[in-house]
């Protein structure tokens, strides 16, 4: 068995949609980024690449490559899962923590887990999404950014 961990942080800005795990979450701000800014998909993809010792998503999908401008990160995650499977790796489970002051994310967990389950081929009972605030502390606590930590098990 192999374990991989992923981390990502994106700035919250006005004029962008908030997309996490491929799900559009209604909010007055969204995540800045070259792609759609989906930090949850990025952290999970990085965790999978880490477990397989295949580098990181910056190498796979370079942010200075116009091909990935506005990219749908759920599709990037699917590419990573497919590449891992082609190398004989099988996903065991995903656990993640979204660190975010606002909006309240728990009402969206079910749809995010369903989306990630469909993208990865894992049962929803193997896809965990949680959220925490930083109690108002730091840039994330001030609502300036969203961070995500993810861990995956690969068999």
Q: How many CB atoms lie within 10 A of CB 83?
A: 15
Q: Which is nearer to Mg ion, 42 or 78 (CB)?
A: 42
Q: Tokens for 63?
A: 């942010």
Q: Min. distance of Cβ 32 from Mg ion in angstroms?
A: 10
Q: Which is nearer to Mg ion, 56 or 155 (CB)?
A: 56
Strands 91-99, 127-132: pairing kind: parallel
Q: Which residues bind Mg ion (CB under 5 A)?
A: 8, 42
Q: Min. distance of Cβ 88 from Mg ion in angstroms?
A: 27
Q: Which is nearer to Mg ion, 8 or 101 (CB)?
A: 8
Yes or no: say if 123 and 117 are a contact pair by the CB < 8 Å rule. Answer: yes
Q: Which is nearer to Mg ion, 42 or 126 (CB)?
A: 42
Q: Min. distance of Cβ 86 from Mg ion in angstroms?
A: 24
Taking CB positions, which residue lies at the least distance from Mg ion? 42
Q: Tokens for 106?
A: 């728990």
Q: Min. distance of Cβ 31 from Mg ion in angstroms?
A: 8
């Amino acid at each position: 068995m192999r374990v991989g961990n992923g981390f990502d942080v994106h700035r919250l800005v006005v004029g962008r949609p908030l997309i996490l795990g491929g799900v559009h979450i209604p909010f007055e701000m969204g995540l800045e980024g070259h792609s759609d800014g989906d930090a949850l998909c990025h952290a999970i993809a990085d965790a999978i690449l880490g477990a397989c010792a295949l580098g990181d998503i910056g190498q796979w999908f370079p942010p200075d490559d116009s091909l990935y401008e506005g990219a749908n990160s759920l599709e990037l995650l699917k590419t990573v899962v497919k590449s891992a499977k082609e190398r004989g790796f099988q996903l065991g489970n995903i656990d993640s923590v979204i660190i975010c002051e606002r909006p309240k994310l728990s009402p969206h967990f079910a749809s995010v887990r369903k989306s990630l389950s469909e993208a990865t081929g894992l049962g929803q009972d193997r896809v965990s999404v949680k959220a925490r605030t930083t109690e108002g502390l730091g840039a994330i606590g001030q609502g300036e950014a969203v961070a995500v930590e993810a861990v995956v098990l690969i068999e």
